[in-house]
A and B are shown apart, each in its own frame.
Chain A
Amino acid sequence: MKWGLALFLTIATLVLVAIAWFQSGGMKQHAMFSATTPEAAVQALMSDIQSHNYQRAFASLDPASDTDLPSFIRDVAGSDGSLRTYASLQSADVSPLHANQDEAVVRVRMNWSSAVGSLDDVRDLRVRREGSVWRVVWPKPAFPAVPPQVVSVNYLRWEVIGRNTSQAWGSQDVDSPKVRITSMNAISRPGRVVILGEVENEDTIPAYLNVNATLLKADGSPIEEEGSFDMISHVLLPKQVSPYRIDFPGIRMEDVKSVRMDARALLVPASADPVIAITDQAVSKDGLNRNVLKGDLINQSGRPVNIAQVLAAYYDDSGKVIWVSDGYVDQALMPQVPVPFAVDIPNDIAQRLKNYRVIVNHYSRTSS
């Protein structure tokens, strides 16, 4: 009986160790050194990236790769406080594009998880056979070099001196910014109701804005209340217009009689910089044949933007907002350097859209 227990414990320990080895990608790591197919080579590389073992990943690359370890790490793990630096590789889908005896091209769709959701990075990797082993050729990443320079910044900033709470009732105060919902559209999407539109800061001071919507039944009672969360530009400068989108998952349009909208604006200190140009915007198909709105972001200021979020509003031919989508850019926006972006457009929206407008939310570690 005593030996039986010891035997059971030993077997259980071995099984757990084996599971842990599998989980940590041990099998894939083993496969790397014996990658007999191009897909296996890419899978093994992704496994190393997933476990943050960049040195091993770099060592597994084909010697023809024209890159060095720091560049490889920067390319894969991000830099300059970008969103990628806070993300981790969740999964990688590998599919061969074409192959011959010694060389192949494999498409890898990396799915990175981050605090703001998942990010996709699709790359077509060249894989070469070396003896019996396939190795990935990692292209040299082209990091735009910002020439050393002094950028003079003459930016506007608003500070707020609030009312002293100890002052008597009725003492002079500054009103909250005046904002206006310029359009609102309720649409039915699979499994949810979506409220979308645009809101304008009509005031002469910046506003920190939240848009909430309450769906109401026929008797006027509320069904559910939701906010726009990150599907809005919360800080709006004077006369700036932002799209917003509020999702109500699990609600059917037939149950909704009316919608109560509430745009609340607060007076906040803000800066008019950075200005980000959105250039070369065009609707096209991406590598996975999805409809996307692509373009480049150019930070026209002198200070890096760590994380940028693109918000796009799509209009039909009558000028009505029919969809709002967003996408985070996982690279930092260095001054004057174009950074590509792409945001998804649902197929049915892509067929109906006549026009679109893009704005950029930005987050900088040193900004307020």
Chain B
Amino acid sequence: MKGIADITVALKKNSRPFVSVFGFVFAVCALSVAQAPPQVHLDAEGLAPRPIEELTGTTIARHYALAWRDLAGALDSNNARGLGEEFVGFAKDRLAKRIAQQSQSGLHVRIVDHGHQLKALFYSTDGASMQLVDHAQLEIQTYDGSKLIDTQNTPHEYMILMTPGADRWYVRDLEEVSAKP
């Protein structure tokens, strides 16, 4: 993903100032669209042993979406710096390890995210953990350098553990399981 700086540098080649200004605005808009978190729909119907509070549900959906945005960005850029905002524990450690190895191997992964159907399975009575399953529509493209070596465009299913922090819910565990088509 190109940064704003890269795009603006490219725009500087254009001699017409108004075109540059327009181009910069366009670049910012394009990037903001590119960095927008994916659609996440949370279904918490019949959640046990504790029902979910409305605010908690909203927070979880928002931060899960942000987690996927950060994850996609990190796997594409091979930069694990942004993961700590939304990931913690096993999930963060695994992703950081993967990104380091991706970077070492010259691979990167681009995710085209078509949205997530999140279903809450378990919410502990103390409110300290929530287990969810995610039916995600993802197009996962694996590159070796600039060469596309694999494209996956199948449904994916993830088992997720989320735990609350001071101001957000973190993804603590994210494991892909065999998706039921």
Task: State yes or no: do A and B touch (Cβ within 8 Å).
Answer: yes
What residues of chain A have their CB less than 8 Å away from a CB belonging to chain B?
169
Assess whether B172 is interfacial by the CB under 8 Å rule: yes
Residues of B close to A169: CB separation below 8 A: 89, 163, 172
- With a cutoff of 8 Å between Cβ atoms, the chain A residues found around residue B163 in the complex are 169
A170 to chain B, nearest CB (A): 9
List of 3 A-B pairs having minimum Cβ-Cβ separation, nearest first: A169-B89, A169-B172, A169-B163
Majority-rule SS of B interface residues: strand
Dominant SS among interface residues on chain A: loop
Interface residues of B in 68-109 (CB under 8 A from A): 89
Closest CB of chain A to B172's CB: distance in Å?
Answer: 7
B54, closest chain A residue (CB): A220
Minimum Cβ distance to chain A for residue B166 (Å): 11
Q: How far is the CB of A165 from chain B (nearest CB, A)?
A: 12
Q: Which B residues lie at the A interface, using CB under 8 A?
A: 89, 163, 172
Q: Which residues of A contact B89 (CB under 8 A)?
A: 169
Shortest CB-to-CB span from A206 to chain B, Å, is 21
- A169→B172 CA distance, assembly (Å): 10
Q: Can you sample 3 A-B contacts with CB below 8 Å?
A: A169-B89, A169-B163, A169-B172
Considering only CB atoms, which chain B residue lies closest to A175 in the complex?
Answer: B126
Chain A nearest Cβ from B150, distance in angstroms = 33
**Cα of A169 to Cα of B124 in the assembled complex, Å:** 15
Residue of A nearest to B90 (CB): A169
Q: Which residues of the other chain, A, contact B172 by a CB distance below 8 angstroms?
A: 169
Query: What distance in Å separates the Cβ of A178 from its nearest Cβ neighbour in chain B?
Result: 12
Q: Measured between alpha carbons, how far is A169 from B89 in the docked complex, in Å?
A: 8
> Smallest CB-CB separation from B163: which chain A residue?
A169
Minimum distance in angstroms from A128 CB to a CB of chain B: 65
B139 CB, min distance to chain A CBs, angstroms: 32
Task: Give chain A nearest CB distance to B14 CB in angstroms.
Answer: 44
CA distance A359 to B25 in the complex (A): 60
Distance in Å from the Cβ of B8 to the closest Cβ of chain A?
A: 37
B161 nearest CB across to chain A (Å): 9
Q: How far is the CA of A169 from the CA of B163 in the complex (A)?
A: 10
For A169, the closest partner residue in chain B by CB is B89
Q: How distant is A264 from chain B, measured CB to nearest CB, in Å?
A: 11
Q: How far is the CA of A169 from the CA of B171 in the complex (A)?
A: 13
Closest to A168 in B: B89
A353 CB, min distance to chain B CBs, angstroms: 37
Chain B: minimal CB distance from A127 (Å):
60
Give Cα A20–Cα B93 distance, bound, in whole angstroms: 65
Complex CA gap A106/B175 in Å reads: 81
| Cα A348 to Cα B110 with chains together (Å) | 68
In the bound assembly, the distance between CA atoms of A169 and B173 in angstroms comes to 11
B2 CB to nearest chain A CB (Å): 37
A30 vs B161: C-alpha distance when bound (angstroms): 78
Q: How far is the CA of A245 from the CA of B82 in the complex (A)?
A: 40
Minimum distance in angstroms from A138 CB to a CB of chain B: 55
Provide the bound-state CA to CA distance between A169 and B162, in Å: 12
Nearest neighbor of B172 in chain A, beta-carbon distance? A169
CA distance A169 to B164 in the complex (A): 12
Q: How far is the CB of A338 from chain B (nearest CB, A)?
A: 44
Residue on A with the closest CB to B88? A169
B40 nearest CB across to chain A (Å):
22
Cα A271 to Cα B163 with chains together (Å): 33
The smallest C-beta distance from B38 to any residue of chain A, in angstroms, reads 26
CA A252 to CA B89, docked complex, whole Å? 46
- In the complex, what residue of chain A is closest to B161 when comparing beta carbons? A169
Give the complex CA separation of A169 and B170 in angstroms. Answer: 13
Rounded to whole angstroms, the CA-CA distance of A169 and B92 in the bound complex is 13
A222 to chain B, nearest CB (A): 12
A169–B88 alpha-carbon span in the complex (Å):
10
